[in-house]
Every structure is written in structure tokens, then in C-alpha cells.
Amino acid sequence: MNPISPSDFEQQIENLLGLAGREVCSEPSAEDFVNWFRQTVPEVMPALLAQIEPTPEEVDKFLRVAALNLFADLPQPDHDLQRVSQPKLGRNNPCACGSGKKYKHCCGELVMPPLFGNMNLLRYVLDAYTKRRLVEVASSKASIEEVADTARQWNGWGEDTRVVALLEPYFAGTGPLAAELSPLFSTLMDSWLALGKPGKRDRLLGELLMRGDRPLKLPGWLSATLIAAVTGVIMLLMFKYTSNQAAIKHTRSQIKANLLALSLFKEDLRVGLRVQVALLLGDRTAAFAIVLA
């Protein structure tokens, strides 16, 4: 048997987790998930079974324990996208996997670390969501860090319509924003720009300014700030060469948005001030250089 390449192994993991995410969206019981896993793994991820002793009893025991562990690690749609801990079983209780054996003679015999380490399993669940259903995530108890990571992956794959469907609801309403939403902000800005909708970005920045929200603590690099600032420079040029009231009004709005965008990166005041000075001097090249330095 030829050894499987790392890339093939990773693809098998992706395939299995994608199917697992879709499966939990049907809200199965632990026993149903175990049965699904036992049937699916030999076909979808044979490389996993190649790592254990090839006897029917050992394979079945491994699959049952692995299935219960994965089921416990996956955020469950019917539990507010939180993980469901496995129940503590006594040694003589029936095993949760549905084998009919006592726990001590079944999954209790095998201790297994998490199969998929620190992978973001929420992404595989949300991959199975329709765009319409993604609006539910903001009102769930899903981990903000995992939502942010999911959005960044989708953005990298060009799935910006899904990013927007996922993240827009977090910024809806009129109340103050929680600082924990910071990881979501720049990805939403990037996806709006990728979709050719800079106006939505500008409106959100203006709304945040009017709402008086405390500055969000975003990453140190200034991608969103730079985009907003350069847009402001373009608007200033429009003002210079057109001098009409529409341009003046739009420029004023852009300046406010840019000031807010700069305030979002207050953690690096020195860089923010240098960018602002460069913009006031109309030197967009210098602004780029400062941010990218």
C-alpha cells in the first residue's frame, strides 16, 4: 500500500469535516452521529483507519470513540452553536455510542485526544448554512474568534457574499458595539470593497461616528483605515475640481468617516498621526508608505 501524501490526507480531513458539519445541521442524536460516522469514514477518510490495528473490533471501537469526540467538539446548531459536552458515564452505564455494551467494555476502554486539534470546527458547520440562515449566527453564542476566522477564510476564497451575510447582523441596531466585535470589522470592510460596495462601508463608519461608539481595537495594520483615507483624498480632489454642493457634502461625510477609521486604530497613535498629516498634505503616496512600513 503506497503511503498517502500530506496533501491527500488534508483533503480527506476537509471532506470529512465538511460532511460532519452538514450532518450536525440535521440535529442528530449522539447515537445517530456515531452511526453516520462509522459508515462515512471508511469511504471518505480511509487514511484515518490506516493508522490503527486492522481488526474489525478495533476499527469499530476506534470509530465509535472518534465519533463521540468529534460530536462533542462540533458547535451544535440546536445548542446555540455551542459545543455539547459528553455526559459523564459510570463504568456500568450503557455506552453513549449506542453499541449496547457497558461503557467500561466499549468506549471507556479507549482514551483519545481530540482528532482535529485546535481546528476551527465552526467553519464546517457554517459552510452548510444557507446565506439566509447565516443571519442567525449573530444572535447565537458562537465564538467571535471562530466567526472571525471563518469570515477570513471565506474572504480569502472570494466568498464575500457569505461574509457579508454572516457579519452584517453583528453591526445592526443603534446601541454601542462591544469591543469583542473588533475582529469582524476589517473583514466586513474588505468584503464590501471586494463586492464593489464601498458606500456600505462608508455608511457604517458614519453611523458609528454618529452613535459615538468607543473606538474598536482592530489589528495594528491599517488596511481599512488606508482604504477609507484614500477615498477621502479622492473626494477632496473632487471638491477641488468641481466645487459643487454635492461634492462638498460628500467630502464632509468622507472626512468624518476617515477620522473615525483612524480612531479605530488608536493603539498606534504615531502611525495614525503620520498618515493623517500625509493626507492633509494631499500626499497619498506617503500615506501608503507609512502604513506599509
Output the DSSP codes for 160-200.
HHHHHHHHGGGG-SSSPPPGGGHHHHHHHHHHHHHTT-HHH
- pLDDT for the residue numbered 77: 94
149-176 confidence digits (pLDDT tens) = 999 999 999 999 999 999 999 988 776 6
For residues 171 and 203, is the Cβ–Cβ distance under 8 A? no
- pLDDT for the residue numbered 45: 85
Q: Which residues of the chain have pLDDT under 50?
A: 1-2, 217-224, 226-227, 230, 257, 265-269, 271, 275, 279, 281-285, 287-293
In angstroms, the CA 283 to CA 126 distance is 43
